Amino acid sequence: MFRSIKPWLFAAVAGALALIQGCAVLPPPGERAPSAAIPASSESELGGVAAQSAPAAGQSAFRPLPFATWAMDARLTLVRRAQKTLDIQYYLLQNDVTGHTLLRAVRDAAVRGVRVRLLVDDLYTAESDRMLLAFAAYPNVEVRLFNPFPSGRAFAFTRWTFALADFARVNHRMHNKMLIADGAFAIAGGRNIADEYFFSSKGGNFVDFDLLILGAAVPQMATIFDAYWNSPRIYPLHALETSREPPQALRDAFEQLTADALTAYPTPAADKADLLGFPPFSADIAHPPLKMMTGHIEVFADDPEKVTGRAEKGGDATTVTARAGHAMSQAKTEVVVGSPYFIPGQLGMDGMRTARANGVRIDVMTNSLASNDEPFASAAYGRYRVPMLQMGVNVYETDSSQLKNDSIIGGALGASIGRSHSKLIIIDRRVTFVGSMNMDFRSSRVNTELGMLVDSPELAEAVLSLAARVRGGSYRLRLDGSGKHLQWIAKVNGQEVVYDDDPGVDFGTRMQLLLLFPFISESLL
């Protein structure tokens, strides 16, 4: 997705216009009444199921959602069964079939009396403002935007044009992703709400990972949601977007816009288990107690005030990245890292060097240049490959052609490009980091993130089994005989094939990197 460089490209093209227009400022936010999460109650259906499935006090129960069909089914099941409240926070909620499907189900919940609080980052809402405005016309719905653009809101180009003088602020985005239903269940992880995160895009699709959670972690997540919802960095949608149409006309427009959701995402067959043996949540919820893993989850998130730039120089121990890094530094035997965008920087390299000196095995799994939707981030990562291999780190890069294999990902991608978007760290086959954080400078210093450290050998082994599947369809990197040059090793029809240059990269991408990458600071990626 559009993450870091495109803002600069917009800024470069829009510079002259910005000089003419001057600096736009945000309007007064208007009424922004604080509100708080509604705790779980056993009187609600979801609260009752959670109570019947609850682990020991202080523990959480959870289920991995690595496959798109089951991940969407879990979200829709929670929304359709909610009776009290839905708190939803996403970096991207796209105006496409997937976004329509989720929002239409949430709309139905609001109509039956469920309180809906929807919080969306403002980066992509030029394409979805109309949808959100129509959605907000329903009763019991409130929509808020994080760190919004002040004007020119109809198009991404004009947004960046009028915000150029305020780039230091609008460059900071809310990358968090979570959904909480009736204070009883939550889903959090790496997935945004868009077609490409649920295997519905014809161009490129992401393999991703979430957790379905109940127990002690859910109130922690609700507290984090409230901190964002009530933050001064949040603006009500109606303070930025208005319509002359009456509410009923907006509701009619929403109904028409989202009609494509009626046949999208059918409920999976009740007897169809995923590759980890879990049935669809829509089927399992009818027969509590649920099939879940158990363990301790520590939930944490960046402060919304990270938008002030306080973490931009590094060294902020409160960030999600710093807390994940500290957990990795405690490893005794093994660290497995999966990140779609992996730019370790000097701090990360120093940490890996220390771990290797202490005998810790390190596996890094990331996208190849051909499978990466952000080639500049991939090029920045490329600077670290030889040094990592020289210190004994095992490096794997996804092969997009192999990542479409059903036996690897539990679904079909057709002719689209297969990419990894999972953000996972497994430490000593016991502790698993799950969240929204990439291993790059934007996650550590610019964007806000959500993270969870899950102490569960069962979850760690399940994630490692999935990682082994993906690794089997990936390139293994090594150094040639000189110890200075990279080689990519792939298995093709059971035979080992060696590449001496980034495999599968098209001419356009190579020219883009040649002409533009030298001018891009790594700190922006």
Mean pLDDT value of segment 292-309: 96
Could you give the CA distance from residue 510 to residue 508 in angstroms, rounded to a whole number? 5
Tokens of 479: 């150094």
Q: Which residue in the block uniquely carries the two structure tokens 């099941």?
A: 77
Residue 410 · residue 72 · CB < 8 Å: no
CA nearest neighbour of 92 among 26, 2, 188, 9: 2
Name the more confident of 42 and 406: 42
* Helix pair angle (507-516, 375-382), 10° resolution: 70
Predicted confidence (pLDDT) per residue in 143-159, tens digit: 999 999 988 998 999 99
Domains of the chain, CATH where assigned: 5-23+49-284 (3.30.870.10), 302-524 (3.30.870.10)
User: What are the C-alpha distances in Å from 146 to residues 6, 124, 502?
Assistant: 19, 11, 38
- pLDDT for residue 360 is more than 60: yes
Which pLDDT belongs to residue 14?
A: 45
Strand positions, DSSP E, 220-345? 234-236, 293-301, 334-338
Could you give the CA distance from residue 184 to residue 390 in angstroms, rounded to a whole number? 48
DSSP assignment of 117-172 equals EEEEESTTTTTTHHHHHHHTTSTTEEEEEES---S-TTSHHHHHHHTGGGHHHHT-
Which pLDDT belongs to residue 405?
A: 57
Could you give the CA distance from residue 214 to residue 206 in angstroms, rounded to a whole number? 26
Predicted confidence (pLDDT) per residue in 130-141, tens digit: 999 999 999 999
Which pLDDT belongs to residue 6?
A: 52
Could you give the CA distance from residue 2 to residue 15 in angstroms, rounded to a whole number? 20
Which pLDDT belongs to residue 68?
A: 93
- pLDDT for residue 294 is more than 60: yes
pTM over 0.85: yes
Which pLDDT belongs to residue 412?
A: 57
Average pLDDT over the chain reads 91
- pLDDT for residue 510 is more than 90: no
Predicted confidence (pLDDT) per residue in 24-39, tens digit: 788 777 777 899 999 9
Band of the pLDDT at 5, cuts 50, 70, 90?
very low
Which pLDDT belongs to residue 28?
A: 78
Which pLDDT belongs to residue 20?
A: 41
Predicted confidence (pLDDT) per residue in 434-481, tens digit: 999 999 999 999 999 999 999 999 999 999 999 998 888 899 999 998
- pLDDT for residue 17 is more than 50: no
Could you give the CA distance from residue 259 to residue 263 in angstroms, rounded to a whole number? 9
Predicted confidence (pLDDT) per residue in 172-207, tens digit: 999 999 999 999 999 999 999 999 999 998 888 889
Could you give the CA distance from residue 2 to residue 9 in angstroms, rounded to a whole number? 11
Predicted confidence (pLDDT) per residue in 95-126, tens digit: 999 999 999 999 999 999 999 999 999 999 99
- pLDDT for residue 491 is more than 70: yes
CA nearest neighbour of 53 among 208, 178, 218: 218
Q: Element (H or E) spanning 438, and its range?
A: none
Which pLDDT belongs to residue 416?
A: 62
Amino acid (1-letter code) at residue 509 = T
Mean pLDDT value of segment 381-405: 88
